[in-house]
Structure 1
Amino acid sequence: MERAEKKNDRFEHKTEQDSTIVYGKNAVTELLKSGAAVDTVFVQDTMNAAQAGYYTAIAREAGAVVKRVHAAKLRGMCGTEGHQGVAAWAASVDYVSLDDLLAEAARRGEPPFLLLADGVEDPHNLGAIIRTALLCGAHGVVIPRRGGVPVTPTVLKSSAGAAARLPVARVANIGEAVRRLKAQNVFVYCADMDGRPAFQQNLTGPIALVAGSEGSGVSPLVKSLCDGVLSLPMAGGGTGVDSFNVSVATGIILYEIMRQRGTEGSI
């Protein structure tokens, strides 16, 4: 039953690795609809009745307790003013294996389509990449255990909840993941400025795209293991900017892969 939190109740920040705070309307909605384990949903006490009723209904359906809290309490829980009036305590993302991602493609009767993040450090960039990967029909995202950001609350919010829906595999290193994918006859491309324009490549069939870090791009070892390198043509010089943001570049290429595969509307 929904109940108001008393003014003198203290919110205790949980520190366990298996629990995380998710905030923002889209992120919380997608989390609750995804079937992931959710403990408690916190709704701002000034949220209008219709919206509060909506979150109460979907939270109860997910088996979560609903509490009404003050805006200051939400701000303290989330560490930001951008909580949009709703937050949830949830288990951290259940990472899957690389084999699980390939099995998902087989289950859907489609050639594998994966995105590998090689050292992406900004959670907003990773969130945006996961969101685009989901909307372009990818079967999953692969991230490293070290050398890149994991799926954090900021990633979940930046992905508009997509990170709760699209499977994410966390591997020991991206290079080994590339080797394993190639052994499964998946053609692996990476995105870099010295590659062939993406629009001139055949991007159908089993495919994986590697996106590099914000500062140094794809690591030399991973690049050497890839079957090909893709680039994006840009306008003439004199702009003072020499590259796309990693999430923008990745999004453009993911969309081109979707276009060539003819998978629009399949998710």
Structure 2
Amino acid sequence: MKQKPNDEQDKQTEFISGRHPVLAALESERPVNKIFLQKGIQPSFAAKIEKLAKQRKIIISRVPKTKLDELTKQQNHQGVLLTLAAYQYADLNEILQQTTQHHQDPFLLILDNIEDPHNLGSIMRTADAAGVTGIIIPQRRAVQLTATVAKTSTGAIEHVPVARVSNLVQTVKQLKKENFWIFGTDMAGQDYRQWNAQGPVALIIGNEGKGISPLLKAQCDQLLTIPMIGHVQSLNASVAAGLLIYQGFTSRGN
């Protein structure tokens, strides 16, 4: 799905490094400005990059490893880097219209102030694998779509539309008017293994430390919990999201 640009994003540039994220970006419709390819890189991989670059008429710059180390601030770039326009966000109404056109019940994720880009990237990777319709994030006080998110998602960022909204509570209220069932997580909720996610649903994943905000939790039709019998009574946000997403995936007959 094409994601809509905004004026602020048009002025920004992103770097993407790593073989899987770079290939995913080149195979998508995103406008790529330039490719930096490490000298002496594996010939078969270089040939794949060159073929995609030729198809899209993108300039390749052959550079030493030290140049890529500098551009990526010593990150593991795997010998390749792209420069391209900053990631753009989808329109929520268009996400919903597309599912209607395909006669599918939407399965949305709402991320309540997720702060760690690695968590967002991992959640996107699971969302893509499980066929999640789209992700909703707030405009403020939360991680946005960045190069770190892109690399962690290993290309999923090119396939899972992300809508950015100014007020999550108002967005949830609007979804409820459109017959969505809203689910969230809470220690006192129902065992997530009993969750039936059929129909139009939205699942809220809370902040890494604070969980779901009280105002948003009050909008949930049902709360879910992940039973834990060990000494640590909490899970990483992306791990918890993965368990819940796949329970939803299974209960929807997939």
Instruction: Provide TM-score, normalisation by structure 1.
Output: 0.88
Q: Which residue of 2 aligns with 1:52?
A: 46
Tell me whether 1:247 sits opposite 2:242 in the alignment: no
The one-letter amino acid paired with 1:246 is: A
2:165 to 166, 171, 180: 171
| Cα distance in 2, alignment partners of residues 248 and 143 from structure 1 | 18
DSSP 3-state at the match of 1:32: helix
| Cα distance in 2, alignment partners of residues 115 and 80 from structure 1 | 33
DSSP 3-state at the match of 1:94: coil
| Cα distance in 1, alignment partners of residues 246 and 56 from structure 2 | 33
Q: Which residue of 1 aligns with 2:98?
A: 104
The one-letter amino acid paired with 1:186 is: F
DSSP 3-state at the match of 2:218: helix
Q: Contact 2:10–2:86 at 8 Å: present in 1 too?
A: no
| Cα distance in 1, alignment partners of residues 244 and 55 from structure 2 | 38
Structure 2 CA distance for partners of 1:121 and 1:17, relative to 1, 3 Å: farther
DSSP 3-state at the match of 1:225: coil
Q: Which residue of 2 aligns with 1:257?
A: 248
Tell me whether 1:114 sits opposite 2:108 in the alignment: yes
Q: Contact 1:98–1:177 at 8 Å: present in 2 too?
A: no
| Cα distance in 1, alignment partners of residues 33 and 53 from structure 2 | 9
| Cα distance in 2, alignment partners of residues 92 and 16 from structure 1 | 7
Q: Which residue of 2 aligns with 1:9?
A: none
Tell me whether 1:228 sits opposite 2:222 in the alignment: yes
* Structure 2 residues not aligned, in runs of 5+: 1-8
2:23 to 29, 32, 42: 29
Tell me whether 1:217 sits opposite 2:191 in the alignment: no
Cα distance per residue 1:59-115 (max 9 Å; x no partner): 222332111111111111112331111110111122012112111211221001111
1:201 to 161, 183, 195: 195
Q: Contact 2:15–2:82 at 8 Å: present in 1 too?
A: yes
Task: Give the total of aligned pairs.
Answer: 246
| Cα distance in 2, alignment partners of residues 163 and 59 from structure 1 | 20
Alignment of 1:170-189 (within 5 A): 170-189=164-183
DSSP 3-state at the match of 1:222: helix
Structure 2 CA distance for partners of 1:171 and 1:184, relative to 1, 3 Å: same
DSSP 3-state at the match of 1:233: coil
| Cα distance in 2, alignment partners of residues 194 and 58 from structure 1 | 51
DSSP 3-state at the match of 1:115: strand
Tell me whether 1:70 sits opposite 2:64 in the alignment: yes
* Structure 1 residues not aligned, in runs of 5+: 1-14
Percent identity over the alignment?
A: 38
Tell me whether 1:134 sits opposite 2:128 in the alignment: yes
Q: Contact 1:105–1:111 at 8 Å: present in 2 too?
A: yes
Q: Contact 1:97–1:169 at 8 Å: present in 2 too?
A: yes
Deviation at 1:46, TM superposition (A): 2.3
Mean CA deviation greater in 115-124 or 63-72: 63-72
Q: CA RMSD in A?
A: 1.5
